[in-house]
Structure 1
Amino acid sequence: MRIFVFFLLFTIVLYSCQAPAEKQPLAATSYFNTGDTGVQMGGIKMIPVQTPVGTFKVWTKRFGNNPTIKVLLLHGGPAATHEYMECFESFFPEQGFEFYEYDQLGSYYSDQPTDSSLWTTERFVEEVEQVRKALNLDKSNFYLLGHSWGGILALEYALKYQDNLKGLIISNMMSSAPDYGKYADSVLAKQMDPKVLDTIHKLEASKKTNDPKYMELLGTNYYNKHICRLAEWPEPLNRSFKHLNETIYTMMQGPSEFGISGRLAKWDRKADLPKIKVPTLTIGGQFDTMDPEHMKWMSTQVQKGTYLYCPNGSHMSMADDQQTYMTGLIKFIKDVDAGK
């Protein structure tokens, strides 16, 4: 018996002293094996886009490899950048999601043509379709996530090309620009100091929105309460604001996030929501520039809708109510992937 015990202990010690099995390098795992050949550029791909006035290139960056979950991120603005959406890099890889950051035409990392005829919703929809094809996304794996203006673009894309989609996410965007304007005027404006509001309106009426005082007043009294409520804004968000193409932004949105007055001012797709048949998640924040009740209502109008409410979130709920936002978003994508 003693001999047996000694032999057992010897065997245990022998194996415990051996070097641990070598782990497979991360680069060799399926998630990191994207199949790219040639010079490696960190997943960045400049995609040619055909337009009525010529061919231009847009910037995309790929993360990961997942045959059934591929998420294309559409930033807001119009003409902001992918940068404020870099926070997804802290959540999607650990879930194994393949995803793409993307600067739309006219934005900082993509070509920036100056022909004003390019800045229409219809033209942007065709751009997204060309990007989809170039990235080999299809109805078996393609999730389209649009935030703010990107939500308008995602909804417009779905109304024309939803047969290419597996799932749709409309983040912090209402389905009606006039309703967005009314919410700003009838709800959010009333929460501001009347004297401050009067000064803002006077600057807008006199077309002095380039006056530093205009954005200074909005920053303190509106942006810090309804765009992002964090005491210190995330560096990627500040970087994105710094890189905003103000010419395109003003042309389509107006001078600021305080309502809407550009080419998008009359955009309204409320009546068309029942046409959306793919699984759809709408996301709203309590302190958003957009009415959270409207975004909840949107989820009841599409055929397969889900609503995610961020009680501490503003327009950038992915930053100031991050855990709620990311937990709910990830659950939605996993549920759709599982056929739930």
Structure 2
Amino acid sequence: MSCHVGAATPTCDEITPDLCELRQTNDSLVVKGLRLNYWRFEASPPSGLANERLPIVMVHGGPGWSHDYLLPLKQQACRGRTVYFYDQVGAGVSERPASAKASAPHLFDIDYYPEELAALIRHLGLRRFHVLGSSWGTIVAQLFALGPNSGGLAGLVLSGPLSDATLYIRSQWDPTEGIVGAMLPAFAQRRLRALDAARDFGSAEYRALAKAMRARFTVRTYPPPDCYTRASGLMNDEIYVGIQGASEFTIGGVLAGWNITARLPALGALPTLLTAGRFDTMRPPLLRAMAAAIPNSRTLVLPHSGHCSMIDDPKLMNDGGRCKGVGYTVPTGSQAIPFCCTVQGFKRPPLSSGASVLQSAVAGGRREPLALPPLLAWGGLLLWVGVWLGRRYERRRSGRAARDIL
């Protein structure tokens, strides 16, 4: 997954709008005998909102990558937050055992990582805070939020999330909404299936296919900025393959069969923001399942993004969906569903202008109005308006609760 960094490679600071002067500090702590490095960003001079907005801890993906590709999100410090990034042990520039399997087998235990996050939060002395997880980091964040050490967690952001490994792969191959099944030519699909079945992940053909798909579905900004290439260059292959498997289009590591969706209702009233790119590897069937399971959630779909929305849509990602008139349409089944960066869940299109609230009957091949007395018609209209206003109120209340996550 490494990329050559040429002279024209942009920096993540260049692609991040409205970036202010920041003060950066870094330190470390020891978790289970191994060093974990972390970074703190604050506005310099401090923002007037510094004491009003809660700090946020960023959890990187991979597994086995580094925090660097998340750095466009340090712009949150310009909005009055203290922002923390860290490299998970065994990844990035945190301590990396020569052989994790031999000397640190807990690094292949999924349940270790929320404990690691909890250790960092205790070390930082955070009493009220938000957590943002990206990709694999959404798994860590969900387990943390559902675990015994989540006291003080005020809001959760899951960027490019998954809660069901089997659905994650199946939705990629979905013939209507999948990045493979719906967006790749038939020959490329056949070759990818054959290479996956043969587990021929080291062949030149597989590497070429994977590289082309990363450019379409992982990070679409070209050339990729320095923070992305740095993160991919620091990847710990041993941990990545051990947890995820060697292919991004199947699950072959300890994540195989992992599924936490049934536990997500236990998040209760916790404000949760789900984000994904239009071209994300995390597809609509997966996000719909998560949105349906999390009681107080809203969904942000970023129109220009692959999996790394913080790079492809840094302004919209930092805005947390506070934008207007940005949207696009994704086909699902026989009906197109519009998504907008402010959408509450996955909302069906409104009635077109001039459409009757009451349906029409089909008789003799002709569309005829329903023969209803005027009083009943008005009653139906008032009932519909009442339901609509009630749902709108609930959406606004949920939106207000989740609004300050980003």
CA shift, 1:299, in A, is 3.2
- 2:30 — aligned with what? 48
Structure 1 gap ranges (5+): 1-25, 33-41
CA shift, 1:338, in A, is 6.7
- 1:144 — aligned with what? 131
Question: Secondary structure of the residue that 2:28 maps to in structure 1?
Answer: strand
Q: CA RMSD in A?
A: 2.6
Closer, same or farther: CA 69–329 of 1 in aligned 2, 3 Å: farther
CA shift, 1:173, in A, is 1.0
Contact 2:320 2:403 in 1 (8 A): no
1:311 matched to 2:322? The reply is no
Out of 224, 246, 267, the position equivalent to 1:233 is 224
CA shift, 1:336, in A, is 5.2
Question: Secondary structure of the residue that 1:143 maps to in structure 2?
Answer: strand
Out of 229, 233, 243, the position equivalent to 1:242 is 233
What is the rounded CA distance, in whole Å, between the counterparts of 1:204 and 1:279 in structure 2? Answer: 38
- 1:107 — aligned with what? 91
1:260 matched to 2:251? The reply is yes
CA shift, 1:77, in A, is 0.4
CA shift, 1:92, in A, is 1.4
> 1:30-68: per-residue Cα shift (whole Å, max 9, x none)?
x96xxxxxxxxx411111102xxxx11111001127455
Contact 2:59 2:67 in 1 (8 A): yes
TM-score calculated relative to the size of structure 2: 0.67
Structure 2 gap ranges (5+): 1-19, 324-397
> 1:61-93: per-residue Cα shift (whole Å, max 9, x none)?
01127455111111100011001011123x212
- 1:92 — aligned with what? 76
CA shift, 1:263, in A, is 0.9
CA shift, 1:256, in A, is 3.0
> 1:130-161: per-residue Cα shift (whole Å, max 9, x none)?
111011112x2x11100000001100111103
Instruction: Give the alignment of 1:117-136 within 5 angstroms.
Output: 117-118=105-106, 119-136=108-125
Instruction: Give the alignment of 1:185-334 within 5 angstroms.
Output: 185-186=173-174, 187-190=178-181, 191-220=183-212, 222-277=213-268, 278-328=270-320
Contact 1:169 1:281 in 2 (8 A): yes
Give, as a single letter, the amino acid of the residue that structure 2 aligns with 1:181: I
What is the rounded CA distance, in whole Å, between the counterparts of 1:88 and 1:338 in structure 2? Answer: 15
> 1:252-311: per-residue Cα shift (whole Å, max 9, x none)?
111132232211121111111110032111112221101135324423432321221212
Question: Secondary structure of the residue that 1:236 maps to in structure 2?
Answer: helix
- 2:66 — aligned with what? 81
Contact 2:67 2:92 in 1 (8 A): no
What is the rounded CA distance, in whole Å, between the counterparts of 1:200 and 1:178 in structure 2? Answer: 18
What is the rounded CA distance, in whole Å, between the counterparts of 1:195 and 1:147 in structure 2? Answer: 32
> 1:292-335: per-residue Cα shift (whole Å, max 9, x none)?
35324423432321221212222111121222222126899996
What is the rounded CA distance, in whole Å, between the counterparts of 1:233 and 1:257 in structure 2? Answer: 19
What is the rounded CA distance, in whole Å, between the counterparts of 2:27 and 2:206 in structure 1? Answer: 38
Contact 1:292 1:309 in 2 (8 A): no
What is the rounded CA distance, in whole Å, between the counterparts of 1:253 and 1:263 in structure 2? Answer: 7
- 1:60 — aligned with what? 38
Out of 173, 176, 179, the position equivalent to 2:167 is 179
1:153 matched to 2:140? The reply is yes
Question: Secondary structure of the residue that 2:228 maps to in structure 1?
Answer: helix
What is the rounded CA distance, in whole Å, between the counterparts of 1:154 and 1:270 in structure 2? Answer: 13
> 1:222-273: per-residue Cα shift (whole Å, max 9, x none)?
2122111223212211111111111110111111322322111211111111
TM-score calculated relative to the size of structure 1: 0.79
Q: Percent identity?
A: 27
What is the rounded CA distance, in whole Å, between the counterparts of 1:258 and 1:336 in structure 2? Answer: 32
Give, as a single letter, the amino acid of the residue that structure 2 aligns with 1:136: G
Closer, same or farther: CA 178–100 of 1 in aligned 2, 3 Å: same
What is the rounded CA distance, in whole Å, between the counterparts of 2:221 and 2:288 in structure 1? Answer: 24
Contact 1:279 1:336 in 2 (8 A): yes
Give, as a single letter, the amino acid of the residue that structure 1 aligns with 2:298: T
Question: Secondary structure of the residue that 1:262 maps to in structure 2?
Answer: coil
What is the rounded CA distance, in whole Å, between the counterparts of 1:100 and 1:241 in structure 2? Answer: 20
Which shifted more, 168-177 or 257-266? 257-266
Which shifted more, 248-257 or 209-218? 209-218
Matched residues, number? 294
Give, as a single letter, the amino acid of the residue that structure 2 aligns with 1:226: F
- 2:366 — aligned with what? none
